[in-house]
Chain A
């Protein structure tokens, strides 16, 4: 499951922000510091996550800890999904 999320997120980032050039993007790279996403890019990423996984991100969740690298994003999505399935 985690592998699937990671692949989906990686593909989205490569297609949307690197225009297919995956070169040296590691899972722990900071997307902001590498200039891969800006404020508009963050919102694109948020929309993708919301549409793909069917949950809404609260404003306070838009932080680097959740969204600034592939690893952080995958951790965040996994946690959110676990939280939702525990509640459901």
Chain B
């Protein structure tokens, strides 16, 4: 099977049959929910993005709309369209929803004020009404370079200023930001448990391989029905399942920063179309010549991306582990 796949490496390699994939995933969701976990239904956090929309669609097909609960968890820095699209998608599916604004929980942790204090030390003119995001350098293909985080602050007048972050400041800001996903996880489990539902995760394979999720945040779930699908395959599923066009055409974003930022800008540094093909090639050890021929890249470019993959894989290995024990069991 592997040999056959490797021989056919090309831009079409990630094409899936969404119909059979849907059958397999819905069977998995049914089996897990009703037999393995013995729960009455599934709860899904609807972010207004494509992954959660696909999970909601698949859950409804697996269990029926009466057994699916959509939880919408905005906070004051969320893009307003996230809530709007999440609600529309839920209405289209006919599932029950709950909206819990998590701003007050985040305020009680003091994350906004603590984080803004740090930003003010970096950009003294920063005010609470300013917006900001974090990015990595985007020139991954073009040159050998390290990843480092930069903060871009946008003032009320629209002017932007970008500064490289120190390790300490990045870790502080990141720790604050991750509380957003962890608060959502707490809400999902609270409403899941009170309804005797399980929590369905929305992590895809691209995210899982590269560690683009928060441990005990969006990674804290009961089942991961699309963790075997690359992001571009999730798009194929979305089209087949009839996810709203607005959600499909929306640029993928972590939506945890007040200033919009795409997954590419924040983490991957290349577009999903190329990322997924290269992740596949990386995982399946496709020979370099086949990759360069199929994708029109230079060997050096592939090497750079693979080095980046390896670095992120190594840095995030712990996210994919359950807590190690002394006896290893």
Binding site for B on A (CB under 8 A): 32-33, 35, 38-44, 46-47, 59, 62-65, 67-68
A62 near B146 (CB under 8 angstroms)? yes
Interface residues of B in 272-329 (CB under 8 A from A): 307, 310-311, 314-315
Chain B positions within 8 Å of A62 at CB level: 145-146, 148
12 contacts between A and B (CB under 8 A): A39-B136, A39-B147, A39-B149, A40-B170, A41-B167, A43-B164, A43-B165, A46-B148, A59-B150, A62-B146, A64-B144, A68-B146
A32 near B311 (CB under 8 angstroms)? yes
**CA separation between A35 and B318, bound complex, in Å?**
13
**CA separation between A41 and B311, bound complex, in Å?**
11
B146 near A64 (CB under 8 angstroms)? yes
**CA separation between A43 and B166, bound complex, in Å?**
6
B146 near A39 (CB under 8 angstroms)? yes
| Contacts between chains A and B (CB distance < 8 A), count | 54
Give the number of residues in B that approach A within 8 Å (Cβ atoms).
22
- Listed from nearest, the 8 A-B pairs whose CB atoms lie closest are A43-B167, A39-B147, A38-B315, A44-B167, A35-B314, A42-B146, A40-B167, A63-B145
Contact with A along B136-170 (1 / 0, CB 8 A): 11000001111111100000000000001111101
Minimum CB distance partner of A44 in chain B? B167
Minimum CB distance partner of A67 in chain B? B146
**CA separation between A44 and B146, bound complex, in Å?**
13
Chain B positions within 8 Å of A44 at CB level: 167
**CA separation between A41 and B168, bound complex, in Å?**
10
**CA separation between A41 and B148, bound complex, in Å?**
9
Chain B positions within 8 Å of A64 at CB level: 144-146
Chain A positions within 8 Å of B307 at CB level: 32-33
B143 near A63 (CB under 8 angstroms)? yes
**CA separation between A74 and B204, bound complex, in Å?**
41
